[in-house]
């Protein structure tokens, strides 16, 4: 795992689906779209396509560029292809193994089904154990297979009806694309914790994606967000987008979409991500002012909030940290010295901090290790003072809805006060944005469970471990 990202809430997943009224290069569209969603998961990638009769799947561990070689893309070329789904994965339930990569496919009474999932089901273990006792067989250790198993077992129901029934049984945060040979479906949990949007292709086709950043790449126009609790689908029989409100909507989308996860050029649930990040920084400046000479972001996720902090405080903004774009993914070595080297490989202090009182703006602190190394780096480069400002509240609770925020015992804010964290990272001062500040900045209802332990979409009995399904 990348040491720099070890101190961040780690990515969820990205889902994508394409349906066309006429044969098109579905694999090519999905391939391009997954590049736009790569920031949501870098452990595995996969694509399924169908021409109405044949279904082809390619998936593996790695980045989109690593998995989809020209040879693999050639295998996905179906002359009459009209629909398909894609996925980029970060494992939040189940190990990072090839058989856990998505999309998952099964043969069932409804034909071949394929599913791509972003999120977590908080009652997956309970339902999986029930299905196992009834004779079900599982091939993976992820919770996605629980959903597809439920759908497949409702053999007397249509695909749409079976999906709606499974949506009612499973709890948690989820956005999903699902297909058989002729029909593409997409659906979202009742709280809308995980994002999902609808786009329209120029030929009248439809695209479902985790973020609208996909659409410009593949020639689609944004239509709207999938509503919380909504099931939408399009089939070769009608060619029309159809919808059913399966679950009573209670919107509380994940605040971290605007704080950190989504691309800054995205708009989710009508709220512009970049503008929200600037407002987070403005709120932070009002709540936690400090006398300083320069505002410096931790790149890249701290840039928007740092701009906002600078604007509201009047303190000049500058790039006091250089991020090496060629460092690629690095992996933790067993010594402390080697771990520190990984941060230095990715980041270096610039002359903008020399002799200055620095406001260092970042989006979050999970364990505190990387934050401490960055503070030391700035002071070694000549910064007189380093005042750390975080554009989110302290993360004190784990996320059960598709973000790997680590177990509670590994969250520094769960066991340390703000003053203790400040001392640990070596900052001259430390302040976090308040929950009301987050709400004001984002401007809509949001899930704050990782900050306050209040889980709007339910929670498991006890702390759900990432590998909980591997022993069942």
For 380, counting Cβ atoms within 10 Å of its Cβ (0-12 exposed, 13-18 middle, 19+ buried), the class is exposed
Whether the CA torsion 146, 147, 152, 155 is positive or negative: it is positive
Per the annotation, does 158 bind a ligand?
A: no
For 274, counting Cβ atoms within 10 Å of its Cβ (0-12 exposed, 13-18 middle, 19+ buried), the class is middle
Taking a C-beta distance cutoff of 8 angstroms, is the pair 406, 397 a contact? Answer: no
Q: Which residue among the candidates 4, 9, 10, 13 is catalytic per the annotation?
A: 13
Per the annotation, does 447 bind a ligand?
A: yes
Query: Cα torsion at 34, 35, 37, 42 (round to 10°)?
Result: 100
Per the annotation, does 429 bind a ligand?
A: no
* Closest-CA residue to 46 (of 120, 127, 101, 115): 101
* Closest-CA residue to 264 (of 202, 212, 331): 212
Per the annotation, does 362 bind a ligand?
A: yes
Distance between CA atoms of residues 90 and 101, nearest Å: 9
Per the annotation, does 254 bind a ligand?
A: yes
CA angle centred on 243, ends 239 and 244, rounded to 5°: 145
Tokens of 255: 């605040």
Per the annotation, does 351 bind a ligand?
A: no
Per the annotation, does 399 bind a ligand?
A: yes
Q: Which residues, 6+ apart, have CB-to-CB distance to 277 below 8 Å? A: 258, 259, 264, 303, 304, 305, 307, 308, 391
Beta bridge partners of residue 197, listed in sequence order:
209, 225
User: In the annotation, is 13 catalytic?
Assistant: yes
Binding-site residues from annotation for [4Fe-4S] cluster: 254, 399, 447, 450
Binding-site residues from annotation: 254, 301, 362-363, 399, 447, 450
Which residues form the catalytic set?
A: 13
Binding-site residues from annotation for Mg(2+): 301, 362-363
């Amino acid at each position: 795992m990348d040491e720099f990202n070890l101190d961040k809430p780690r990515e969820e997943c990205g889902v994508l689906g394409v349906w066309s009224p006429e044969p098109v290069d579905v694999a090519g569209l999905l391939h391009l779209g997954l590049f736009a969603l790569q920031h949501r998961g870098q452990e595995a990638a996969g694509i399924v396509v169908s021409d109405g009769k044949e279904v082809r799947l390619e998936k593996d561990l790695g980045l989109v560029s690593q998995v989809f070689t020209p040879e693999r893309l050639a295998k996905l070329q179906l002359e009459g292809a009209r629909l398909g789904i894609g996925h980029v994965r970060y494992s939040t339930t189940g190990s990072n193994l090839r058989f856990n990569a998505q999309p998952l496919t099964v043969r069932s009474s409804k034909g071949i089904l394929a599913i791509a999932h972003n999120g977590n089901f908080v009652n997956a273990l309970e339902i999986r154990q029930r299905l196992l006792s009834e004779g079900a067989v599982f091939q993976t250790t992820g919770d996605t297979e629980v959903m597809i198993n439920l759908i497949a077992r409702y053999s007397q129901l249509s695909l749409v009806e079976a999906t709606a029934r499974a949506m009612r049984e499973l709890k948690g945060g989820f956005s999903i694309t699902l297909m058989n040979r002729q029909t593409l479906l997409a659906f979202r949990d009742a709280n809308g914790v995980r994002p999902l949007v609808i786009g329209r292709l120029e030929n009248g086709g439809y695209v479902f994606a985790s973020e609208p950043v996909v659409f410009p790449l593949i020639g689609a126009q944004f239509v709207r967000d999938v509503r919380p609790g909504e099931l939408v689908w399009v089939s070769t029989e009608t060619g029309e987008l159809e919808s059913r409100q399966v679950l009573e909507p209670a919107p509380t989308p994940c605040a971290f979409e605007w704080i950190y996860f989504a691309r800054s050029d995205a708009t989710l649930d009508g709220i512009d991500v970049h503008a929200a990040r600037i407002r987070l920084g403005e709120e932070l400046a009002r709540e936690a002012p400090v006398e300083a000479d320069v505002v410096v972001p931790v790149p890249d996720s701290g840039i928007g909030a740092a701009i906002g902090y600078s604007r509201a405080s009047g303190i000049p903004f500058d790039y006091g940290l250089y991020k090496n774009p060629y460092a690629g993914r690095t992996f933790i070595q067993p010594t402390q010295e080697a771990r520190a080297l990984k941060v230095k490989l990715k980041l270096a202090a610039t002359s903008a901090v020399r002799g200055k009182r620095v406001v260092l703006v970042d989006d979050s602190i999970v364990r505190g290790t990387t934050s401490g190394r960055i503070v030391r780096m700035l002071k070694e480069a000549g910064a007189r003072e380093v005042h750390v400002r975080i554009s989110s509240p302290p993360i004190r609770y784990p996320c059960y809805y598709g973000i790997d925020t680590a177990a509670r015992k590994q969250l520094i804010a769960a066991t340390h006060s703000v003053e203790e964290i400040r001392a640990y990272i070596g900052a001259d001062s430390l302040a976090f944005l308040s929950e009301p500040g987050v709400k004001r900045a984002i401007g809509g209802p949001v899930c704050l469970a990782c900050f306050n332990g209040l889980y709007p979409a339910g929670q498991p009995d006890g702390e759900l471990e990432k590998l909980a399904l591997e022993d069942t």
